[in-house]
Structure 1
């Protein structure tokens, strides 16, 4: 296990200057962690992919730091309510957030804006995993690959539409980015979730669907939906035969859903460093990697600096897409 960077002043502060090296990590950890349990806020309902990932991470992190980590679901507002709760929480490490592209890119750029600033109001800790979105077509679509699909759409502008799990969701914005980068004219049909959208795709009521790979996986394996490409820069380990959109005909295309841990903005740096180090170690565990891959997620585990950089990149990317469609207005 690697230790957070500790100066001699830090060691003296915690009374560890003369302690054996093997004792520094556990004693230091208990010194900087909150006295009570850590609550990991999941800004969506229980049972979803983010909730499953969060409970896995909470259990493993608790084991590593010998400190209770409990999950609390605070759903609503597309993730904004739970995220706002953490943004306003005490900066002592007692409340953390399992953030997503929705809480830290899409919601802050929507109309009306989220009740927090995605960069100013949070301390980035570690990116846990990324999950591809996937471009699917129904059995009635003759195109067998992305290039054939683009040619088909360009030959009949405005004739075809694609479905998504709703306005402002990552699949919706993946579809809008595809329209822009591929130069095609297709309409958008929003659904109240990925399930109803997939039902209509399988039933032949819509020809094209952008979905989260986690939700689409069983249909792809069953052959009821045909996947043409994933949206990440690299192929998914769970579906290595499905090409990326970038290699299949839309160079430079990259979108994904992600899960990352954040704290309130003024979280002490020693605590940020400790949690980031431990979360990276959690994600590196073989059983955690296996579970994440079962969910069609790509395990990451990152530094706080890398997560901060990614959030900025996501805001810049999605800001351009959302502006191009005149903003996002939620009911």
Structure 2
């Protein structure tokens, strides 16, 4: 009887150990399995060819290898990213549908669209942040405004006289310009365009006094001597714009270092283990030396952050834009 008890105890412990091993061998979830399975869709809320699209396609190619799972990039543009975000919220919450998220649909739209089909910070969860697409304020080369301080001085002396172009009403471009005006206590006339290209053309033509846009969209004009950047909405000066101060340095104002983030989000109903695995692999891709070069070529800076840090940044971003929208009484078109 005693020998049987010992053998029985050993068998029980062996069985329990084998059960743990078996659990460890089971993939976290079909969508992030080690072997090829159901394809993962990455929804990019912009048309093909832009910075975010390039970032999304690079990220998808890297994750497909790391997850041993086919990845499909779908460009689902419209409504400032809301259409793509809503599609992710409504998709099966199994990690097979990811959103290449930006602030437009997550931290701006909730304050501009009262009938948003989802609750941005409840229906979606952050996986990881991968990039920042820095914003700048620029003028054409022939402008009499030689510095940002001079621009703001003129705007204060003649409220509403100076006009700045943005990439559209309610975009981060528009709200960043409004944040600068509110912080400096001046009135700038906002002129919205459908994207950066027509806005830059009108800037160079002298139809608007300034533009608030991404560094990537104005850099070709700077390099060709047709535009000058007066300041960057970043914490540190940009390496590709040597000698250009940050907006905070140029004005002495605080709160004007604006992260224009790009990251991955999924449905909030996605199992935590799946989110953790996706976050782990996305951060590994973000930290690759190749990633820095590929993102810089797309006009972005590498900015890696896990789920927690990314979530905190989104909350801060949302609070910032809520204040700007309310103070400026800004309405969506």
TM-score, normalising length from structure 1?
0.89
Q: Which runs of 5+ in 1 are unaligned?
A: 1-8, 18-23
Equivalent position SS for 1:271 = helix
Q: Indicate the residue corresponding to 2:95 in structure 1.
A: 93
What secondary structure is seen at the aligned counterpart in 1 of 2:299?
A: coil
Please list every run of at least 4 consecutive aligned residues from structure 1 whose deviation after the TM superposition is greater than 4 angstroms: 11-14, 27-32
Name the SS of the counterpart of 1:300 in structure 2.
strand
Q: Does 1:301 align with 2:304?
A: yes
Count of residue pairs brought into register by the alignment: 313
For 1:63-74, list aligned pairs within 5 A. Answer: 63-74=65-76
C-alpha change, 1:12 and 1:194, in structure 2 (3 Å) is farther
Structure 2 unaligned residues grouped into runs of 5+: 1-15
Measure the CA separation in 2 of the matches of 1:32 and 1:187.
Answer: 48
In structure 1, the residue matched to 2:203 is 201
* Counterparts in 2 of 1:297 and 1:329: CA distance versus 1, 3 Å: same
Matched, 1:15 2:33: no
Equivalent residue, structure 1, for 2:313:
310
The change in CA–CA distance for 1:260 and 1:68 in structure 2 (over 3 A counts) is same
The normalised TM-score by structure 2 is: 0.88
Cα drift, residue 14 of structure 1: 6.3
Change (3 A) 1:65 1:129: same
- Post-superposition Cα deviations, 1:104-150, rounded to whole Å, max 9, x if no partner, equal 11112113442111110012100110111110012343232222222
The separation in 1 between residues aligned to 2:225 and 2:21, in whole angstroms, is 59
Please tell me whether the aligned partners of residues 112 and 329 of structure 1 are also in contact (alpha carbons under 8 angstroms). Answer: no
For residues 271-282 of structure 1, the aligned pairs below 5 Å read 271-282=274-285
Query: Are 1:289 and 2:288 counterparts?
Result: no
Q: Is the Cα–Cα contact under 8 Å of residues 138 and 206 in structure 1 kept in the other structure?
A: no
Structure 1 pair 268/226, CA: closer, same or farther in 2 (3 Å)?
Answer: same
Residue aligning to 2:170: 168
Aligned equivalent of 1:151, options 150, 153, 167: 153
Structure 1 pair 13/265, CA: closer, same or farther in 2 (3 Å)? farther
What is residue 139 of structure 2 aligned with on the other side? Answer: 137
Distance 2:21 2:170 in 1: 47
Q: Would the aligned equivalents of 2:170 and 2:330 in 1 still touch at CA under 8 Å?
A: no
Worse-superposed segment, 275-284 or 106-115? 106-115
**CA RMSD of the aligned region, Å?**
2.0
When Rg is computed on C-alpha atoms for both structures, the one with the higher figure is 2
Q: Match for residue 56 of structure 2?
A: 54
Contact 2:31-2:96 at 8 Å conserved across structures: no
SS across alignment from 1:99: strand
Match of 1:21 in 2: none
> In 2, Cα distance between the equivalents of 1:280 and 1:64?
11
Higher share in helix: 2
Deviation, 1:12, is 5.1
